């Protein structure tokens, strides 16, 4: 209901109805409109911050999805980098060492400040640029690794005899090979009780288990050796020799030509030994090397990695 206003008239000594002037009416209308506009604008601005429009909600959803995909890509890139690093280490420490090849070169991709300028205006640009850098580096390393494998393939094709002669398999079959009893490196001697260099690896197996030559070559000696017991030494040429010690029986003699996979002796417990096993050594140009590095031809990558781990931690 509208309010009715009255004012006192002293001349007539009575209250008379008061009517607003045109200016007052205009001011009242403007005041009401202004207040409505202010309240409406305030509510509109508040709603903009409190509630997302359908378009903004869709953009935010797409941005979150894109960020998640970049995070997954970054994680997968890191995992692929780990695998590639393992391949490079095996390449440099094993394959290239076998063929006396130059070390693998893994120079980094040159980074230019303007290389990723096109990404500077997108959301989360730092994370996106970092992921792009990882992918570029991984691509470069893959390219270098492919070049390395091409080089190794060329050497393999030109060095067929060397391939056949180098030690490349386990001296025990996969069925008979249990685990490494003692690894390569400084170890506490089980009989003498002092720390000394263990120049090979001990592969545990029952007495009488067949021992196989790990590469083509010529038997250098097959006799009793102090500490080793009955032992067979094979000269593979190209600077490689192998020794198979603590045998119970030797099936070859000095000067005999043998082939990879040929049975040469039986596992025993002769010499300075505390249990049946074959003590296997690899010598390269007169220096002892970890034999586990050369057991790669008859092992899967996982088995090879486990063999290396055991040889360094037992």
pLDDT score at 38:
78
225 has which bridge partners?
Answer: 229
Q: Phi first, then psi: what are they for 305, rounded to 5°?
A: -60, -40
Q: Are 203 and 277 in contact (CB under 8 A)?
A: yes
Please state, in angstroms and rounded to a whole number, the distance separating the CA atoms of residues 4 and 12. 20
pLDDT score at 17:
72
- Name, in order, each residue with C-beta under 8 angstroms of 23's C-beta and a sequence gap of 6 or more: none
Q: pLDDT by residue (tens digit) across 277-287?
A: 999 999 999 99
Please state, in angstroms and rounded to a whole number, the distance separating the CA atoms of residues 191 and 205. 19
Please state, in angstroms and rounded to a whole number, the distance separating the CA atoms of residues 91 and 16. 110
pLDDT score at 208:
95
- Name, in order, each residue with C-beta under 8 angstroms of 84's C-beta and a sequence gap of 6 or more: 138, 141, 142, 145
Q: Phi first, then psi: what are they for 120, rounded to 5°?
A: -70, -20
Q: pLDDT by residue (tens digit) across 58-87?
A: 666 667 667 777 677 777 777 777 777 777
Q: Which residue has the tokens 């002796």?
A: 265
* Strand ranges inside the chain, DSSP E: 5-9, 14-18, 180-182, 185-188, 195-198, 201-204, 210-212, 217-225, 229-237, 240-250, 257-258, 263-267, 277-284, 287-289
- What average pLDDT does the chain have? 78
Q: Which residue has the tokens 């980098």?
A: 81
Instruction: State both tokens at 62.
Output: 């797409």
pLDDT score at 203:
92
Closest CA to 77 of 125, 126, 130, 116: 130
pLDDT band at residue 108 using 50, 70 and 90 as cut-offs:
low
230 has which bridge partners?
Answer: 224, 247
pLDDT score at 123:
65
Does the structure show a pLDDT above 80 at 15? no
Closest CA to 123 of 44, 59, 46, 77: 59
Q: pLDDT by residue (tens digit) across 184-223?
A: 888 776 666 667 788 899 999 999 999 999 999 999 999 9
State if pTM tops 0.95.
no
Share of the chain above pLDDT 90, in %: 28
Does the structure show a pLDDT above 80 at 237? yes
């Amino acid at each position: 209901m509208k309010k009715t206003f009255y004012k006192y008239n002293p001349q007539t000594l009575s209250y008379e109805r008061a009517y607003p002037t045109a200016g007052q009416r205009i001011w009242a209308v403007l005041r009401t409109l202004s207040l409505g506009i202010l309240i409406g604008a305030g509510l509109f601005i508040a709603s903009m911050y409190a509630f997302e429009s359908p378009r903004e909600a869709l953009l935010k959803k797409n941005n979150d999805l894109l960020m998640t995909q970049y995070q997954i890509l970054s994680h997968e890139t890191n995992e692929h980098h780990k695998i590639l690093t393992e391949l490079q280490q095996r390449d440099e420490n094993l394959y290239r060492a076998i063929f006396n090849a130059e070390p693998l070169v893994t120079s980094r991709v040159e980074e230019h400040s303007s290389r990723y300028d096109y990404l500077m205006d997108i959301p989360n640009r730092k994370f996106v640029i970092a992921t792009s850098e990882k992918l570029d580096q991984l691509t470069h390393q893959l390219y270098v690794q492919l070049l390395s494998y091409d080089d190794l393939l060329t050497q393999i094709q030109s060095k067929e005899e060397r391939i056949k002669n180098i030690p490349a398999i386990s001296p025990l079959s996969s069925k008979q090979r249990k685990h490494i009893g003692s690894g390569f490196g400084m170890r506490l001697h089980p009989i003498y009780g002092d720390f000394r260099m263990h120049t090979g690896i001990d592969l545990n197996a029952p007495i009488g288990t067949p021992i196989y030559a790990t590469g083509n070559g010529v038997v250098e000696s097959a006799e009793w050796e102090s500490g080793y017991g009955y032992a067979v030494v094979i000269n593979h040429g190209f600077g490689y020799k192998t020794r198979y010690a603590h045998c119970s029986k030797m099936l070859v003699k000095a000067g005999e030509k043998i082939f990879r996979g040929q049975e040469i002796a039986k596992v025993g417990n002769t010499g300075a030994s505390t249990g049946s096993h074959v003590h296997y050594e690899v010598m390269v140009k007169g220096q002892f090397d970890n034999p586990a590095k050369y057991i790669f031809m008859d092992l899967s990558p996982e088995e090879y990695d486990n063999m290396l781990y055991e040889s360094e931690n037992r």
